[in-house]
């Protein structure tokens, strides 16, 4: 009876432990089912378990079999030694081995096998890609192997080789111990006195170790395509003509040594086996270590280019292929300085979308005028394009997300943080170039509930349950109403209308989630019903990484307004460091593709994956492994498809690589005669590397405006500009790269030189210094290098921020053309000044506080009346929750009071 109780108790304890261990996996499974991606979950776990079990079983068989063979093949005689202490120790080991052999052999082997299986299961993706092999159609120039061999096959071979190294060496060591204990060695009489059966057993194991070493030399030969010995990445002259033959020789010599070792075991002629092992060492030292160094130093180095020229050409070719740079369209750009009014009007789309609002000060300004409550936050500002009243415009958008950690301390109850304050609300959007007369962004979408001045940006479903905010779970469809948004002096509440989330329909689900999130409230709360649902993995990057962990995701998702709903678009990448002959980028990878566009619904959390690069063999392998998960890009909703953009992360990596690999002539590349660099600029007050920036522009030679990502280049260690690169984002040219090079005999100012010229201008420098001394701080925004027609225009917004608060206002626009630099109140005035024209247009919202020159100074009575009206309007706006209007009226009030004081 007691034994039965013990068994039952043990089983129950094991069941509880297994339940809690599996709680996270179980809840993840529920999420995959809810999203419709259970195939990914099942397939990945089949590979994890299959790989772990397979390697674990092999480990157990090899270890247990060898321990058993060592026992069976040993003589089991008394160990004799001149050392009495050693003899006594061995005798004790023998007694214990005989008594506990089964326990030691099989239990120990099982423990090791389990640990090996767990560690090998981590490599499940390698095996998934191995069995889902897709050819790339590109062959490496050394062995003629498809590039996919290096992506999918070679990594699997390396894993097996490393596993065999470990398991055979461990088996050999354990066999030696067993044979030693059971008397197979007579230490005083040398190797020839080893018991015959034991000798054969150990030499066979040793020969297998040598066979694995032979495979390692074979693998090492393929890895020469990643060699860094030469001028470029990939096999060099020395690698091909010295190192490769040495590896091939080592393969043969090591395999022969394995055979000789077996012969020596069979005939008890140890000299033969030792001779083979020594031969391996000699060939390795001479052929693989010493000779390559000698050849490199005394044959290659004195005439390096002549020897390396064909290998440099291969490195250039394959690096450009690896980073999708082989089809860059190169054009010449004259970089003139002859802009005219006619040219500006012809390129009005470019001028009307020049980004005067840098995302960093704009985020601060959004926070001041549109966060509205402490618990709302704008995490980022995204740039996209929309048709506004029939005009193609670049827009800045930011999602208003809920941060429950910012609730007042007394409001941070479990109910409030997880059942009431469940979602963010709406977005704020503004054209990147429009400024009010107070220096604030002209908002197109604003307030709570969101209002829009244009119909195609109206939002019918503004709730944001999934976004960039910190990840936390929320429970919907409870007895407690969800906070929706503040409305003046009261709050509006709602209930979730969709089907997102996991149903908490039974006790076991609640228990599993209680364990996952470390709270018992999910079990005991009266607010939950059988229809309640829990949302988790609500941070969209974390959500995507959970569902498809084999992709790399851009850290900057962007929000899109489409048909009244909010969606997140996330760029996903496939990358590897195994592309032959390709130079690695700074992130260590030498192949990257923006292979997938992921779309996440901000309300429901639903995910769709679209293949953006169907020529990529890695995503093709994943698509083969997970049929139906990845959709063709053309199946994306057309209105949403118009918002995909060339990713900044990919473009910056390509630009860094292209700064060297734009040189296709091996001799020019060898001499590093034309190295480029990414330019520096002044942001705020610090010098920093310029980031790529989006623009709506008409590329030279094109007939219409398009959304493009551009970045200038400068020569290495110089500040003048030499070229600019553009990535196109609009159909039908999406993904195409175009390079525009400047005449090499002409000085074209680079960003840092323009910054210096602004500092050297007496009037501009005086004004900036004056602002910096009046309790405020000048923030210099991104300097934009703007190609227009055949000229280069430079534009830099200047912001003013009070030291007491983070509320940047756009105060000036600096511009440069050729030798002339100016700084005016508006972009239009700056352009007029550059062209030598007078300002004649009346002030408007777009011209940002432009003065006509005909205005009469206001009287004291008019200023008092203006201040009074502004105060009344600010109070009304505060009651209505119109915080943008509230901010504007405060600025008017401040301006009126300042004029009164003057």
Residue 104: pLDDT band by 50, 70, 90 thresholds? confident
User: What pLDDT does residue 853 have?
Assistant: 36
Question: What is the secondary structure of 468-495 as a DSSP string?
Answer: SSPP--EEESSSSPEEEEEETTEEEEE-
User: What pLDDT does residue 845 have?
Assistant: 43
User: What pLDDT does residue 849 have?
Assistant: 35
**CA dist., res. 177 & res. 588, Å (int):** 43
**CA dist., res. 848 & res. 92, Å (int):** 94
Mean predicted confidence (pLDDT) in 700-704 = 86
The region that residue 579 occupies, defined by phi over 0 for left and psi between -120 and 50 for alpha, beta otherwise, is: beta
**CA dist., res. 792 & res. 785, Å (int):** 7
pLDDT digits (tens, 9 = 90+) for 474-510: 999 999 999 999 987 889 999 999 999 999 999 999 9
Q: Which of 337, 354, 349 is nearest to 835 (CA)?
A: 337
pLDDT digits (tens, 9 = 90+) for 119-141: 999 999 999 999 999 999 999 99
Q: Which of 204, 136, 157 is nearest to 582 (CA)?
A: 136
522, two tokens: 């999910």
Quote the strand ranges of 497-590, DSSP E.
502-503, 533-535, 552-553, 558-562, 565-576
Mean predicted confidence (pLDDT) in 678-706 = 90
- Give Cα separations from 100 to 94, 171, 182, 544, 776 (angstroms): 10, 19, 14, 51, 81
User: What pLDDT does residue 192 have?
Assistant: 56
**CA dist., res. 887 & res. 698, Å (int):** 36
Give φ, ψ of 78 to 5 degrees.
-70, 130
**CA dist., res. 671 & res. 636, Å (int):** 47
- Give Cα separations from 53 to 126, 549, 625 (angstroms): 16, 22, 20
Is residue 558 pLDDT above 90, yes or no?
A: yes
Give φ, ψ of 851 to 5 degrees.
-105, 140
User: What pLDDT does residue 884 have?
Assistant: 54
Mean predicted confidence (pLDDT) in 878-883 = 60
853 in Cβ contact with 834 (< 8 Å):
no
Residue 856: pLDDT band by 50, 70, 90 thresholds? very low
**CA dist., res. 80 & res. 89, Å (int):** 11
562 in Cβ contact with 300 (< 8 Å):
no
The two beta strands, 533-535 and 502-503, are antiparallel
CA angle 774-779-784, nearest 5°? 145
Q: Specify the 3-state DSSP secondary structure of 801.
A: strand
**CA dist., res. 335 & res. 338, Å (int):** 9
> For residue 811, what are the contacts with CB-CB under 8 A and spacing of at least 6?
439, 771, 798, 799, 800, 825
pTM across the whole model: 0.87
Give φ, ψ of 23 to 5 degrees.
-60, -45
pLDDT digits (tens, 9 = 90+) for 435-460: 998 889 999 999 999 999 999 999 99
Helix axes 154-181, 38-73, angle to 10 degrees: 30
621 in Cβ contact with 129 (< 8 Å):
yes
Mean predicted confidence (pLDDT) in 400-421 = 93
579, two tokens: 């592309």
573 in Cβ contact with 554 (< 8 Å):
yes
**CA dist., res. 887 & res. 364, Å (int):** 13
- Decide which of 97 and 618 is more confident: 618
> For residue 726, what are the contacts with CB-CB under 8 A and spacing of at least 6?
699, 708, 709, 710, 737, 738, 739, 740
Q: Which of 47, 10, 697, 756 is nearest to 352 (CA)?
A: 697
**CA dist., res. 743 & res. 720, Å (int):** 12
| DSSP-assigned letter for residue 420 | I
The two beta strands, 533-535 and 474-476, are antiparallel
Peptide bond before residue 738 is cis, with ω within 30 degrees of 0: no
Mean predicted confidence (pLDDT) in 676-705 = 90
User: What pLDDT does residue 487 have?
Assistant: 87
**CA dist., res. 236 & res. 243, Å (int):** 10
User: What pLDDT does residue 100 have?
Assistant: 65
Q: What is the CA radius of gyration of the chain?
A: 35
Residue count of the chain, please give it.
Answer: 902
> Among 203-217, 339-353, 456-470, whose mean pLDDT is lowest?
339-353
What end-to-end distance do the CA atoms of the chain give, in Å?
99
Residue 842: pLDDT band by 50, 70, 90 thresholds? very low
680 in Cβ contact with 752 (< 8 Å):
yes
Is residue 844 pLDDT above 70, yes or no?
A: no
């Amino acid at each position: 009876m007691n034994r039965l109780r013990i068994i039952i108790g043990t089983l129950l304890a094991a069941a509880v432990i297994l339940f809690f261990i599996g709680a996270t996996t179980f809840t993840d499974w529920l999420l995959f089912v809810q999203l419709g991606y259970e195939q990914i979950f099942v397939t990945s776990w089949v590979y994890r378990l299959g790989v772990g079990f397979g390697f674990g079983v092999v480990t157990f068989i090899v270890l247990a079999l060898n321990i058993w063979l060592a026992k069976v093949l040993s003589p089991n005689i008394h160990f004799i030694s001149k050392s009495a202490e050693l003899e006594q120790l061995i005798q004790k080991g023998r007694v214990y081995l005989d008594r506990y052999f089964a326990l030691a052999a099989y239990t120990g082997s099982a423990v090791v096998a389990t640990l090996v299986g767990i560690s090998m299961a981590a490599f499940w993706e390698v095996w998934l890609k191995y069995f889902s092999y897709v050819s790339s159609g590109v062959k490496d120039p050394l062995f003629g192997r498809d590039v996919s061999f290096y992506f999918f096959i070679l990594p699997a071979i390396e894993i097996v080789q490393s596993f065999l190294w470990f398991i055979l060496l461990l088996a050999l060591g354990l066999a030696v111990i067993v044979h030693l204990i059971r008397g197979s060695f007579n230490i005083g009489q040398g190797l020839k006195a080893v018991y015959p059966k034991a000798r054969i057993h150990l030499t066979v194991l040793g020969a297998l170790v040598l066979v694995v070493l032979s495979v390692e030399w074979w693998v090492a030969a393929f890895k020469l395509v990643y060699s860094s010995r030469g001028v470029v990445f990939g096999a060099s002259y020395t690698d091909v003509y010295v190192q490769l033959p040495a590896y091939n020789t080592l393969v043969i010599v090591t395999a022969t040594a394995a055979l000789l070792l077996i012969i020596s075991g069979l005939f008890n002629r140890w000299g033969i086996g030792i001779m083979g092992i020594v031969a391996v060492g000699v060939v390795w030292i001479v052929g693989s270590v010493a000779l390559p160094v000698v050849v490199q130093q005394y044959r290659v180095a004195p005439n390096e280019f002549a020897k390396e020229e064909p290998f440099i050409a291969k490195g250039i070719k394959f690096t450009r292929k690896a980073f999708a740079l082989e089809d860059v369209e190169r054009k010449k750009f004259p970089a003139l300085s002859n802009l005219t009014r006619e040219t500006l009007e012809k390129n009005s789309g470019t001028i009307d979308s020049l980004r005067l609002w840098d995302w960093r000060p704009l985020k601060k300004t959004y926070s001041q005028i549109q966060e509205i409550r402490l618990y709302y936050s704008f995490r980022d500002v995204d740039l996209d394009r929309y048709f506004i009243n029939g005009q193609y415009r670049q827009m800045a958008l930011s999602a208003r997300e809920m941060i429950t950690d910012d609730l007042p301390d007394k409001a941070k109850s479990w109910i409030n943080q997880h059942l009431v304050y469940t979602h963010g609300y709406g977005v704020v959007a503004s054209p990147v170039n429009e400024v009010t007369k107070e220096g604030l962004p002209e908002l197109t979408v604003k307030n709570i509930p969101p209002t829009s001045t244009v119909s195609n940006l109206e939002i019918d479903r503004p709730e944001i349950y999934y976004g960039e905010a910190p990840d936390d779970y929320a429970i919907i469809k409870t007895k407690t109403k969800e906070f929706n948004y503040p409305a003046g002096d009261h709050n509006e509440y709602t209930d979730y209308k969709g089907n997102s989330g996991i149903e908490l329909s039974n006790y076991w689900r609640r228990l599993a989630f209680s364990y996952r999130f470390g709270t018992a409230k999910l079990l005991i709360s009266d607010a939950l019903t059988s229809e309640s649902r829990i949302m988790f993995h609500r941070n969209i990057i974390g959500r995507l990484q959970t569902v498809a962990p084999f992709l790399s995701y851009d850290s900057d998702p962007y929000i899109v307004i489409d048909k009244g709903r909010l969606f997140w678009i996330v760029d996903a990448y496939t990358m590897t460091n195994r592309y032959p002959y390709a130079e690695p980028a700074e992130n260590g990878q030498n192949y990257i593709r923006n292979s997938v566009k992921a779309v996440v619904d901000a309300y429901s959390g639903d995910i769709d994956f679209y293949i953006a690069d169907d020529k990529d063999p890695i995503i093709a392998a994943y698509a083969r492994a997970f049929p139906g998960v990845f959709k063709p890009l053309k199946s994306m909703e057309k209105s949403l498809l118009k918002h995909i953009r060339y990713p900044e992360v990919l473009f910056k990596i390509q630009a860094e690589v292209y700064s060297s690999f734009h040189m296709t002539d091996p001799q020019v590349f060898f001499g590093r005669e034309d190295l480029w660099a990414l330019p520096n600029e002044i942001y705020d007050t610090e010098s920093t590397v310029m980031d790529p920036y989006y623009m709506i522009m008409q590329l030279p030679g094109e007939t219409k405006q398009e959304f493009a990502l551009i970045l200038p280049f400068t020569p290495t260690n110089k500040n003048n500009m030499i070229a600019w690169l553009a990535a196109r984002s609009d159909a039908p040219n999406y993904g195409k790269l175009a390079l525009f090079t400047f005449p090499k005999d002409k000085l074209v100012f680079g960003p840092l030189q323009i910054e210096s010229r602004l500092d050297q201008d007496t009037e501009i420098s005086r004004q900036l210094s004056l602002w910096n001394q009046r309790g405020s701080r000048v923030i210099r925004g991104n300097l934009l290098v703007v190609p227009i027609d055949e000229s280069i225009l430079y534009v830099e917004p200047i912001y003013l921020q009070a030291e007491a608060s983070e509320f940047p206002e756009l105060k000036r626009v600096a511009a440069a053309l050729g030798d002339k630099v100016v700084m005016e109140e508006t972009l239009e005035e700056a352009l007029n000044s550059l062209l030598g024209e007078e300002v004649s247009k009346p002030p408007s919202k777009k011209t940002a506080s432009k003065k006509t020159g005909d205005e009469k100074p206001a009287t004291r009575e008019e200023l008092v009346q203006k201040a009074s009206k502004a105060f009344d309007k600010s109070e009304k706006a505060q009651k209505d929750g119109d915080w943008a209007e509230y901010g504007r009226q405060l600025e008017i009030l401040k301006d009126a009071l300042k004029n009164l004081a003057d």
